[in-house]
Every structure is written in structure tokens, then in C-alpha cells.
A and B are shown apart, each in its own frame.
Chain A
Amino acid sequence: MELLYFGDKGWGDELLFATLMTIAVSITAMIIGFIFAALITPLKLSNNKILNTIGNAYTTVIRGVPELLVIYLFFFGGSGAIMFVASIFGYNDYIEINAFLTGSFSIGIISGAYSTEVFRGALQSIDKGQFEAAKVLGFNKYIYFFKIILPQMLRLAIPNLSNVWQITLKDTSLISVTGLVEIMRQSYIAAGSTRDPLFFYCFAAILYLMLTYISMKIINRLEIKYSRGY
């Protein structure tokens, strides 16, 4: 247990910060994923063939390729791409992008593909009459989307989004390969310097279990809130 003391003696405070980092990356990735989903879902539902293909290509490629490969693409390709853009504007020095941004962005793109599928499914299972009724009653676009369609969509989407959240949370462990100090990376460092990998990896597993357990409890509350009246 001494290994978990706070301060110089143990790894308690380091692991606590690492846990906070995991939570921060997961939330950022989830939000980036929502932004992607908000952009791609209309494409997937559109009648235009080209837009439709773009939307389908995004979800198919990301869901069919290992997360680790996507992370490597952004880890090795990210700064190259940014430097290329910067060189157009006449900036030729080496640019290193923050590991947090690369990590959240790559996990965000992955989680976005899953969220897109969830939103598409939820939108498609809303009764058609709801869309028609809202239009016939002459509501403006804001009320139409935010007060009528979105609440119904969320009720159907939240149970599946909770799965997406669990996947995202677990995927953040893969960012440790890029050197961002989250739970997995911190355990790797601690295991290396104390020569006690069994303890630290098991402790990492407990931390992840705690995170998934707590988030499940929170999501269950949301589920109840959004299924009022059903």
C-alpha cells in the first residue's frame, strides 16, 4: 500500500492526476465526437448520393479499422499535416502538437463514428408524423429542431450513447502509446520504476472499473430524466 502514498514516497497523487487526465481526454473526445456526429449524420440521411457516400465512408472506415492504427496516423501524421499548412503561410520551423490534442482528436474521430450511427438510428426511429405535425403547425426551425425533434431523439439515443461513452473511455487507454500521461501511461511509468507491474496494472484496472461504474450510474439518471412520460 506504500506505493499509493501521496507525495514523493508513493504514486498516489500521480495516479490521481492521471485519472483526471483520462476523464478530461474522454470528455473532450466525446464532445469532438458529437461535433463530428452533428456534421456527418445529416450527410448520412441526405438524398444526395455524393454526400451520402461521404457520410457512409467515414463511419465504415473508422469502425472497420483498429483504433490503434488511427491513433498512429494522427500521432505521426498530425504534426506533418500542420507543418505543411504552416509552410504555406511561410512558417517553416518544426511544430509539435500537444499530445492531449492529438489524443482527444483521434479518439474523438473514432467516437464520432459510433455517435453518428446512434444519432442516425434515433432520428430514423422517430415517428414521421412528428416531423410533419411540427411543419404543419408552422413552428420555426429553432423550435422544430430543439424543442420537438431533439428531445425525442435523445430519449432513444441515450442508452446507446452510454455504450459509446464506455467505448470512448476504454479507448483512451490506447493514447498512452503517444506518451500522454493518463492512467495507462502513468501505470507503465510506475511499474517500470518500482518493478511492480502486477500491482500497478491491477490498480489501473480498478481505476477503469470505478470510472465505468460511476459513469453508468450517472447515465442511468439521465436516462430516467429523458424518458419522462414513457
Chain B
Amino acid sequence: MDFDLMFTSFPKLLGATVVTLKLLSASLFFGLIIGFLFAILRLNKNIFINKFAYGYSYLFRGTPLLVQIFIIYFGLGQIEYLRSSFLWVILKEPYWCAIIAFTLNTGAYTSEILRSAFQTIKPEIIEAGKSLGISNKIIFYKIQIPIAIRQSLPAYGNEIILMMKGTSLASTVTLMDLTGVAKYIISTTFKPIEVFIVAGGIYLFMTFIIHNFIKYLEKKYSFSQ
């Protein structure tokens, strides 16, 4: 066991954790917006809109995240039209490509989580709101959304942890996130176990924080049943 290496690599890995956290927070933020949008589209009665939203989530949940990153990073650059458009400023950066891929991926999972949360709301609750003469808009914003958010918290907590692990794939498109730096140190020192313990420890610490934060939120917003 090479403790010196563990001590010297710790600050480097901690620095790389910032990249991981940036990727995670950006993709969760945009992913939540997309997920919410598509969850509402899934609940639409129009069969085309419904099928479109289902297709999106099926496509992104049925393929590995690695393929999605590669299509966006390596694939989109091939389209001449995109290269000459203003979008190229974003798409030539591996950082933004990774965020786009993560956003679309987590958006698909989030939309499924939110959809099932909306569907498990008891119809009586909505009927009660209607019979009290509350408008549909207020029923949606003040009754359905808060209940759905509470319902989806445990599943969304898992999704955050899965996404945190997913950000490690950014290292495949030349980004130096936690896993990227860990791999670099491993391949230069050939001491995989020491580096794994330090990098894995940082990941586990983040998992621990997220897990407990979600538990706290669950408790705070639990129904008094």
C-alpha cells in the first residue's frame, strides 16, 4: 500500500471533483426542466404528442449513455449544416457535449419518474378540488405538482446518484473529471488500488451526502397520514 501516493493524489482528485460536481449540477438542472416538460407531454391525451414523449424516453433509456455522448460529441460534428451554424460554438466543446448528453439522459428518466408520480395521485383529490370550485390551473399548480414532487422524491434521489455515476463517462470525451484524473494517475503510476480507494471514497462521500439530503427532504415533506 503506497500511502504517499494516496496523500499526493488526494488534492488532485479533489480538484477534479469540482468538474464532476459542475457537470452533475448543470445536467440535473436542465434535466429536471426537460423531464418535467416531457412528463406533462406524456399525460397529454393527444396520441401523437403522447407517443413522441414516450419515444424520447424509450430511446434514451434503452441505449447506453456512452453511445449518446459519442453520437453528440463525435457524430454531430459530421453534419456540415451544424458546423457552420452558431450551435457549433457549443458543440465543439466536449464540456457542453457532455452536459447535453447527460441532460437528455437524465431528462428521460426524470420524465418517467414524474409521470408515474402524477399518475399515482388519487383521482379523489382532484375531484375534491373541482367540487370546491377551484380552477384547473390552481389544481395543477397547487395540488398536483406538490403531491407529485413528494411522491417522486425517493426515485429522484436514486436518479441523482445514478447521474453522479454517469458523469464519470465525461472522461471518455477528454474531460478531466474525477474518473478522468483517477485514470490518468493510475496509468502513470500503475497503482490502481490506492487511487481507487481515494477516488471511490470521494464518490461514496458524495453518494452519502445526496442520500441523506433526499432523506431529509422526504421527512420534511412527508404527508401526515
Contact = CB atoms under 8 A, between A and B. Distances in A.
Interface in A42-97: 60-61, 63-69, 72-73, 76-77, 80
A198 B78 contact: yes
Given A68-B169, A73-B192, A197 B78 contact: yes
A173 B67 contact: yes
Interface stretch (B69-77, B130-138, B214-222): B69-77
Contact count band on B: 35 or more
Contacts, number: 112
Interface residues of A, number: 35
A78 to B, nearest CB: 9
A202 B203 contact: no
Nearest to B72: A201
A69 B200 contact: yes
A75 B160 CA distance: 27
B207 A72 contact: no
A223 interface: no
Interface of A: 60-61, 63-69, 72-73, 76-77, 80, 170-171, 173-174, 176-177, 184, 187-188, 191, 196-198, 201-202, 204-205, 208-209, 212-213
16 contacts: A64-B200, A66-B167, A66-B203, A67-B168, A68-B168, A68-B169, A68-B171, A69-B179, A73-B192, A170-B63, A174-B169, A201-B75, A208-B62, A209-B62, A209-B63, A212-B63
5 interchain residue pairs of minimum CB distance? A66-B168, A198-B75, A77-B192, A173-B64, A64-B207
